[in-house]
Structure 1
Amino acid sequence: MLMTLNALLPIILVIASGYAVARTGLITGEQWCGIERLAYYVLFPAVLFRTISTVDFSKLPALGMGASLVATLLTAAGLLLLARKPLEAVWKINGPRFTSIFQGTLRWNAMIALAIADNVVGKEGLGILAIAMVFMIPLLNIMSILVLSHYASGTAPSALKILRDLFTNPFILSIGAGILVNLSGIALPGALDSTLEIFGRASLPIGIICVGASLDLSSLRRPGVALTLGTFLRPLFLPLTAFLYTLAFGVSGPAQMIVIIACSVPAASNSYILARQMGGDAKLMAEIITLQTLTASATIPIALLIFG
């Protein structure tokens, strides 16, 4: 437990520093947008490409990991959809609020997961987590859009737009390019490899600082049923479900640890953007993201201690 806390404490402190910098006004809103785009479109894709292009896939249980993650997400989504009408009947949770609970339970912050994987598992963890992204990112985007289009008041994007968004996702593109280079057997030129290594060293601190800057503590109100469910279903239910599926599919060691990390980190900040664009309860979504991130310092170490 102490070892895990020591690995997570620097990440927590960097998140806190991002929040402090944002509140001092040292960096303004538009400037934060530029920094976030730099991390999302350049720095993180660089570290993913470099990691994937050199990883030895023959030593990684990719199919078992993928099966565990997909089964976990589908199980959680199915149970939430079954609970949709009881939630409205008992606690008056309407469609838009339900979509925020859905996103808060299923979606994940890949930037935090990358930082934790690097600190807890090491370089091998980044390669394993990249495999998790291949299975999780497309499925989560499609499920979130379908649920929002059905239960919220927004208009669903066309199938063409969904496909375009997936195939222009910088994480997916960098992972795909890394796989091609890996399979080709071509080693990265020394200068390129060193350049990507520099980008990689910058990606994690900058990305985590942006997570802290995006926190909005003023949005938190007195917790109700919707906020409680949206915040705690993910850190309490998903790691347990994922752990059981890893046992069923024979996933162990670092790969099992990465599966638990992927299912323990807070919800992605872009869940708020999607909720706002498609008519979900954006305010509730912001509260869920903020509260999950604040409680992650306790919930993630507990999940890793029990299941990792």
Structure 2
Amino acid sequence: MLTTLNAILPVILVIASGHVLARSGLIGPNDWRGIERLAYYLLFPAVLFQKIALLDFASVPAAALSATLVASIVTLAVLVMAFRPVLEKVWGIPGYRFTSIFQGTVRWNAFVALAIADSLLGTEGVALIAVAMAVMIPLLNVLCILVLSHYASAEPPTLSKTLKDLATNPFILSIGAGLLVNVLSVPIPGLLDNTLIIIGSAALPVGIICVGAGLDLASLRRPGPALTSGTFIRLLLMPVAGAAFAWLFGITGTALTAVIIALSVPAASNSYLMAKLMGGDAKLMAEILTLQTLAAIVTIPLMIYFLG
């Protein structure tokens, strides 16, 4: 437990520093958006491309890892969908608010997952999270777009737009390019490899600083069913489901810990943007993201200790 805390606390402190820095006004809102775009379009794609391109897939249980993550996500998505009538009839939570609960349950913050995996598991952990991203990002985008288009008030996106969004996602593109290089055994020149290392070394600190900058503590109100369910279904039930499916598919050791990390981190910050653009409850989504990040300080170490 102490080892896990020692690995996670630096990540938490960097998130806190991002929050303090944003509230200090030293960096303006427009500047933060530029930093987020830098991390999203350059820094993290560089990490993902290099890790996937150089990964020895024979050394990691890629198939079992993928099956575990997909099964966990689909199971929780089905459970939350089945729970929706109860949320509406008992607590009066309409469809557009439900979409934020759904996103809060299934989505994950890859920035935080990569940072924790790097701190706790090292290079192998980062590689395993990269594999997780290759599986989870397309699946989660499709699921969330479908739910938002059905329950929110915005116009449903067309199939062509959904496919275009997936095809132009920088994470998916970098992962796809890395897979192609890996499968074809294309050597990466030393100059390019060193360049990617330099670029990628900035990804984790910049990414998790942006997570802290995006926290809005003032958005938290008195917790209600929507906020608490949107927060704790993911933090508590998702990693338990992951551990159960990991046992079923024979995942152990470092790969098991990577699964627990991927399924216990807070939801992705871009879920707020998706809620805003597609007619969901963006305010509730911001509250869920903030409360999840605060609660995860406690839940992530516990989930890793007891399940991973």
Q: TM class by shorter-chain length?
A: over 0.9
Q: Does 1:305 align with 2:305?
A: yes
Q: What SS does the aligned partner of 2:180 have?
A: helix
The corresponding residue for 1:105 is 105
The corresponding residue for 2:253 is 253
CA distance in 2, matches of 1:210, 1:35: 8
The corresponding residue for 1:124 is 124
1:8 Cα deviation from its structure 2 partner: 0.6
What letter is aligned with 2:125?
A: G
CA distance in 1, matches of 2:62, 2:114: 17
Q: Does 1:190 align with 2:190?
A: yes
What letter is aligned with 1:168?
A: T
1:154 Cα deviation from its structure 2 partner: 1.1
Provide, for residues 261-296 of structure 1, a one-character-per-residue CA deviation record: whole Å limited to 9, x for no partner: 110000000111111111111100000000101111
Q: Does 1:95 align with 2:95?
A: yes
CA distance in 2, matches of 1:113, 1:36: 17
1:32 Cα deviation from its structure 2 partner: 0.5
The corresponding residue for 2:177 is 177
What letter is aligned with 1:166?
A: L
1:37 Cα deviation from its structure 2 partner: 0.5
Provide, for residues 193-229 of structure 1, a one-character-per-residue CA deviation record: whole Å limited to 9, x for no partner: 1111111111100011000000001111010111010
RMSD across aligned C-alpha pairs, in angstroms? 0.8
CA distance in 2, matches of 1:221, 1:101: 16
CA distance in 1, matches of 2:84, 2:207: 34
Provide, for residues 44-89 of structure 1, a one-character-per-residue CA deviation record: whole Å limited to 9, x for no partner: 0001111111110011111111111111111111111111111111
Q: What SS does the aligned partner of 1:83 have?
A: helix
CA distance in 1, matches of 2:253, 2:89: 43
What letter is aligned with 2:104?
A: G
1:133 Cα deviation from its structure 2 partner: 1.0
The corresponding residue for 1:28 is 28
1:43 Cα deviation from its structure 2 partner: 0.4
CA distance in 1, matches of 2:90, 2:135: 35
The corresponding residue for 1:238 is 238
In structure 1, runs of 5+ residues without a counterpart are none
CA distance in 1, matches of 2:70, 2:156: 23
CA distance in 1, matches of 2:301, 2:155: 39
Q: What SS does the aligned partner of 2:264 have?
A: coil
1:185 Cα deviation from its structure 2 partner: 2.0
The corresponding residue for 1:48 is 48
CA distance in 2, matches of 1:151, 1:207: 31
Provide, for residues 73-125 of structure 1, a one-character-per-residue CA deviation record: whole Å limited to 9, x for no partner: 11111111111111111111111111111000110001101101111111111
Q: What SS does the aligned partner of 1:299 have?
A: helix
The corresponding residue for 1:7 is 7
What letter is aligned with 1:184?
A: L
The corresponding residue for 2:274 is 274
Q: With structure 1 as the length reference, what TM-score do the two structures score?
A: 0.98
1:183 Cα deviation from its structure 2 partner: 1.9
CA distance in 1, matches of 2:281, 2:239: 25
The corresponding residue for 1:68 is 68
1:237 Cα deviation from its structure 2 partner: 0.2
CA distance in 2, matches of 1:45, 1:210: 16
1:247 Cα deviation from its structure 2 partner: 0.6
CA distance in 2, matches of 1:300, 1:9: 11
Q: What SS does the aligned partner of 1:82 have?
A: helix
What letter is aligned with 2:40?
A: Y
1:184 Cα deviation from its structure 2 partner: 2.2
CA distance in 1, matches of 2:187, 2:11: 32
CA distance in 2, matches of 1:285, 1:307: 28
Q: With structure 2 as the length reference, what TM-score do the two structures score?
A: 0.98
1:19 Cα deviation from its structure 2 partner: 0.5
In structure 2, runs of 5+ residues without a counterpart are none
Q: Which stretch shifts more, 35-44 or 186-195?
A: 186-195
1:186 Cα deviation from its structure 2 partner: 2.7
CA distance in 1, matches of 2:51, 2:73: 25
What letter is aligned with 2:197?
A: E
Q: What SS does the aligned partner of 1:185 have?
A: coil
What letter is aligned with 2:69?
A: L
